[in-house]
Amino acid sequence: MNETRAPGPKRSAAPGWQKKLLNGVKIAVAVILVAIVFFGAFYNVSEQQNAVVTMFGKVVRTDTAGLHFKIPLVQQVRMVDITTHGTGIGYTVSATGQNITDTTNGIMITSDFNLINIDFYMEYRVNDPVAYLYNSRHPEDILKNIALAAIRSTVINYTVDEAMTTGKSAIQSEVKSMMVEELNEQNIGLQVVNITIQDAAPPTDEIIRAFKNVETAKQGAETTINQARKYENEQIPAAEAQADRIVQNAEAQKAARIAEAEGQVARFNAMFEQYVLNPLITKQRMFYETLEDLLPGLKVIITDGQTQTLLPLDTFTGAEAEGGEG
């Protein structure tokens, strides 16, 4: 016996609005993907940056400021800050902005075997973005080590006084020159812009006191030297004037002696002329004149040649003269 089954309900096709919704979603997803890809193909580089573009791990180019295009999902872009940065060497900056001495890197030895706490401030920038990104892992650390090596190699050539006073400019210049040369060899993509000495002082209180004593002694020495120079400046003109007076007196005495000698020569010549004419008379006259010059200063003693006791006639004569005057 055949049984007839009642026909079941027929499956109806999906309503039209569902198909439209599904298609709309697909289109939206496609548009979003296209937008992502499209907008991801463009990138902007600021004035403070450079962009390094790589494709499959290889550097393609370096872009400067402006809007640029890259192949989406194939090329990668890494931004590099090229502005100038600064860092301290020999000290660190606390959260409150106070400088804290770095005893490990800030203490240097000088040529006169003194210790000095010297702090530097270094300014640097990226000058080769590709080398900065790919030639080393930590270029800033390498730069700091190069700076420390250059500072130590330079400071050791100066005395502690020079490092703290007159030698600062020379030290800064030499350190920068050494760093430039070393950075060119290392090629880490960094460039030192400037390096300056922030502070330089003895590292301990004992050395500070000793340094102050030395400075005081130096100032005392300078004061003494200045006083000596002042005394020299005062005495030299006086000595020169006295020397001039002595020379003038000597010249005057010389002229007088020469004149006197010339007069004596003239008198002798005149006397010789008279002697030539009358030798005997001239001899007698010269004899008498000589006696006249000698007798006033002679002691006269009269004796008969047999007297044993000599009388002091000069005393009697003097007494008589005094009595006669009285």
Q: CA-CA distance, 295 to 297, in Å (whole number)? A: 5
Identity of residue 92:
T
Q: 292-311: string of b/e by CB count within 10 Å (b at 16+)?
A: eeeeeeeeeeeeeeeeeeee
Sign of CA dihedral 60, 66, 72, 77: positive
C-alpha to C-alpha distance for 153 and 160, rounded to whole angstroms: 14
Give dist(CA 52, CA 267) in Å, integer: 117
Query: Would you write out the chain's pLDDT as a tens digit for each of its 326 residues?
Result: 445 555 545 454 446 667 777 777 777 676 666 666 665 678 899 999 999 999 988 999 999 999 888 888 788 899 999 999 999 998 887 777 777 777 778 888 899 888 888 999 999 999 999 999 999 999 999 999 999 999 999 999 999 889 998 999 999 999 999 999 999 999 999 999 999 998 888 876 766 677 678 778 888 888 889 888 888 888 888 888 888 889 888 888 888 888 888 888 888 888 777 777 778 877 777 777 777 777 766 666 666 666 555 555 555 445 444 544 44
Domain ranges in the chain are 24-81, 85-203
Contact 110, 80 (CB under 8 A): no
Structure confidence at residue 304 (pLDDT): 63
- CATH code for the part of the protein at 85-203: 3.30.479.30
Contacts of 152 (CB under 8 A, 6+ apart): 108
Closest by CA to 142, choosing from 186, 177, 81, is 186
Output the pLDDT for position 69: 86
Confidence (pLDDT) at 70: 87
What's the pTM value of the predicted model, to 2 decimals? Answer: 0.54
